[in-house]
Chains A and B, each alone.
Chain A
Amino acid sequence: MNTIEVRNLIKRYQDRAVLDGINLSIKKGETFVIMGGSGCGKSTLLRHLIGSEKPDNGEIFINEKNITAMPQKELDELRKKIGILYQSGALLNSLTVGENIALPLVEHTKLAPDIIEIIIKMKLELVGLTGFENLKPAELSGGMKKRVGLARAIAMDPEIVFYDEPGAGLDPVVTGVIDKLIKDLSQKLNITSIVVTHEMTSAFRIADRMAMLYNGKVVQVGTPSEIKNSANPIVQQFITGSPDGPIPLRRSGDEYLKILSG
């Protein structure tokens, strides 16, 4: 059974198709990496997958329910089974670390305060930040914020967790720690993980399968070794990071000509 199924997803901003007919299926329990350069549409795709944006065309099924045609109430119900780790961690700065993690539990469950207290401790232990519950997010480093964000994302024991650029702005060691956490969580808790990233080292480290996005289209889907050995020049250029190849530096050569010739 596929946990997530994307069918012919199209999204246009003005006249430019940011998502141009995306098809993807993500299996239950796997770690699926969506990679691509800046502006390839991967963040837009993520916003569609979590229901923050509506497509112009196409459908997204999560657990066989179409989220693009879902009333807000049902979407909110579904979102309780989804965790999201935002790029910046997106912790509420007015609350402590503990209160941040407790927030979805306090609002969505009828658990007693002392039980919530225990859950907070367990989740912080999972991300290696035991004893940090009384600090404010402003007192944490970038990597710690992300780990707290991760603890909050898994507070409700979600079936699916989305990661938006988990390694952005972190040093290689912390990135490695986060990658290991992602891997551990999906194995220990059997969570389906969707990771959006452009960092190839972590992508190959965590992925069960990966998809390469280019110009709003899926260029290739496959296991890390299939991607590594891909014959597709776009994929090859992207994973080697070579400046020469089919991926242009500028968006449009025609426009440049127009600017030059007036």
Chain B
Amino acid sequence: MLSLIGYIGRTIRTFLQHVSGFFWLFGQTLSWIFLKPYRLRLKPIFQQMEFIGFNSIPIVCFVSLFFGLTLAMLTSYQLEKVGSELLVGGLVGVAFTRELGPLLTSLVISARVGAAITAELGTMKVGEEIDALDTMALEPVRFLIAPRLIAIVLMLPLLVILSNIMGILGGYIIGFTNLHMNTGFYFRMTFDAMVLKDIYTGLFKSVFFAFIIGMVGSYQGFIVRGGAEGVGRATTTSVVTSIELVIIVDAFLNAVFYFI
């Protein structure tokens, strides 16, 4: 019994240490980005934007297009029963801009980019590179985390826009082939159903998700211990934590937007 209490106590303590460590690192990163942006180097920011944004275009397009197709098929199959299959366009449009675009993109990016950030920084940690930067009086947060966070916060919303477009396109393919709706009509049905708030709600959420993925990935990379095995473990933890946090924060933000 006592050992159980001890175990719970230790778990809570470790958890709180991680939370405080995470927010300390987050604060450090924000202070570099907002208080001393002139000391950041541009080249790594662009390199990261290319890696995080540009190179993620294929996977985001692929996943969104097929999800759009599936969603349209699934809903038209049900809506046919009440003879309202013409509403498919609006449904796909609203669902993607408001929810599925940001969520799908963030999950894909958690796996692709969050994992890469942790693995790269973790390997640097294990190889003493981060210590070397620190002892050369070159701040690792400024050098390594700030460019990544800036890049992901700028690129994720753009990827979400792309995801929205591809999702709607997927819906259109079903509307055009299966439901025999002509192009102009399908898109009019889609855009009539959507309001501007749907789009910016989704983009607003994706900014939160970008902070989560970037910071969780960096934090996990910076606390790696114990060689290659440690890097592997941290990478798994990073992806799992990012996905969980994205979904939790998504639900929370949905609740907030629902009531305002």
Other-chain residue from A75, A80, A90, A104 in contact with B129 (beta carbon distance below 8 A): A90
**Contact pattern, A 85-102, Cβ under 8 Å of B = 1, otherwise 0:** 011101111000000000
Q: Which residues of B contact A79 (CB under 8 A)?
A: 135-137
Given known contacts A88-B127, A90-B127, is B137 in contact with A76 (CB within 8 Å)? yes
Cβ–Cβ contact B128 & A103, under 8 A: no
In contact, A52 and B131 (Cβ under 8 angstroms): yes
Which residues of A have CB within 8 Å of B131? Answer: 52, 86, 90
**Which chain B residues lie closer than 8 Å to A88 at the CB level?**
127-128
A215 to B132, CA, bound (A): 27
B36 to chain A, nearest CB (A): 13
- The closest CB in chain B to the CB of A82 belongs to B135
B138 touches A87 (CB 8 A): no
Interface of B is mostly: helix
A80 to B135, CA, bound (A): 8
Complex-state Cα separation, A82 to B131, whole angstroms: 14
Tell me, in angstroms, the Cα distance from A84 to B133 when the chains sit together.
10
Whether B132 and A86, one on each chain, are in contact in the complex, defined by CB atoms closer than 8 angstroms, is yes
Q: Does B134 count as interface, using CB distance less than 8 angstroms? A: yes
Cβ-defined contact, B129 with A91, below 8 A:
yes
A251 at the interface (CB under 8 A from B): no
- Whether A50 is near chain B, meaning CB under 8 Å from some CB there, is yes
Chain A residues whose CB sits within 8 angstroms of the CB of B129 once the complex forms: 90-93
Residues in B with CB closer than 8 Å to A51 are 135
Within 8 A of A (CB), among B122-146: 124, 127-129, 131-138
Closest to B137 in A: A76
- Give Cα A76 to B133, complex, Å: 11
Bound Cα distance from A37 to B184, whole angstroms: 78
Q: How far is the CA of A77 from the CA of B132 in the complex (A)?
A: 15
Question: A107 contacts the other chain (Cβ, under 8 Å)?
Answer: yes
Please name the residue on chain B nearest to A47 by beta carbon.
B131
A52 near B135 with CB under 8 A, answer: yes
Who on chain A is nearest to B120 by CB?
A94
A93, B129: Cα distance in complex, Å: 9
Q: Mark A46-60, 1 if CB is under 8 A from B, else 0.
A: 000011100000000
The reply to whether B138 and A103 form a contact with Cβ atoms under 8 Å apart is yes
CA distance A91 to B134 in the complex (A): 13
In Å, the complex CA distance between A77 and B135 comes to: 10
A80 CB contacts on chain B under 8 angstroms: 137
For residue A114, give the distance in angstroms from its CB to the closest CB of chain B.
19
B73, chain A: closest CB distance, angstroms? 44
CB distance from B140 to the nearest CB of A (A): 11
Chain A residues within an 8 Å CB radius of B128: 86-88, 90
Interface string of B96-138 (1 = CB under 8 A from A): 0000000000000000000000000000100111011111111
Who on chain B is nearest to A84 by CB?
B135
Would you call A104 and B135 a contact (CB within 8 A)? Answer: no
Is A108 engaged at the interface, CB distance under 8 Å to the other chain?
yes
| CA A151 to CA B137, docked complex, whole Å | 17
Among B124, B128, B131, B136, the most chain A Cβ lie within 10 Å of the Cβ of B136
The answer for the CA separation of A88 and B131 in the assembled complex, in Å, is 12
CA distance A90 to B140 in the complex (A): 14
Within 8 A of A (CB), among B194-232: none
CA distance A24 to B234 in the complex (A): 39
Q: Residues of B contacting A86 with CB < 8 Å? A: 128, 131-132
Point out the residues of chain B lying under 8 angstroms from A87, CB to CB. 128
A42 CB to nearest chain B CB (Å): 16
Which A residue sits closest to B131, measured CB to CB?
A: A52
Q: How far is the CA of A108 from the CA of B131 in the complex (A)?
A: 17
Question: Nearest chain A CB to B35's CB is how many angstroms away?
Answer: 14
Q: Give the Cβ gap from A75 to chain B, nearest Cβ, in Å.
A: 8
Closest beta carbon of chain A to B32's beta carbon, Å = 14
Query: Is the CB–CB distance between A108 and B134 below 8 Å?
Result: no
Residues of chain A lying within 8 A (CB to CB) of residue B134: 52
Does the CB pair A104–B132 fall under 8 Å?
no
Contacts of A104 in B (CB 8 A): 136-138
The 6 closest A-B CB pairs, nearest first, are A90-B132, A76-B137, A90-B128, A79-B137, A86-B128, A104-B136
Complex A-B: 5 CB contacts under 8 Å: A75-B137, A79-B136, A84-B136, A90-B132, A107-B136
